Amino acid sequence: MSWRWLVLSLLTLATAVSAIGVAYSRHQHRVAFAQLSALERARDELNIEFDRLQIEIATLADTSRIEQQAASRLGMRFPEGAEVVVVKP
């Protein structure tokens, strides 16, 4: 009878350890999934910011806008034909 008691005790212990392992594994999975979700949200926000910045760069680099800013802020203008000097080497 003692060997049956020993086998039953070992099987009960193995079942308990297995159940604890499953619970721990599920917990780790939930933690990892929460981290993944947070990182995906951060990635999406960064992609939106990147797209916004690309649109802003395209707007700021537009040649007509640059010409308008040069004229209004710096008082620049295209030179007249007589003002152009060609330097020959």
User: Which is more confidently placed, 21 or 59?
Assistant: 21
Q: Using one digit for the tens of pLDDT, what is the confidence trace for 11-52?
A: 999 999 999 999 999 999 999 999 999 999 999 999 999 999
Identify the pLDDT of residue 32.
98
Identify the pLDDT of residue 61.
86
Identify the pLDDT of residue 82.
85
Identify the pLDDT of residue 45.
98
Q: What is the DSSP string of the chain?
A: -HHHHHHHHHHHHHHHHHHHHHHHHHHHHHHHHHHHHHHHHHHHHHHHHHHHHHHHHHHHT-HHHHHHHHHHHH---PPPGGG--PPP-
* pTM score: 0.59
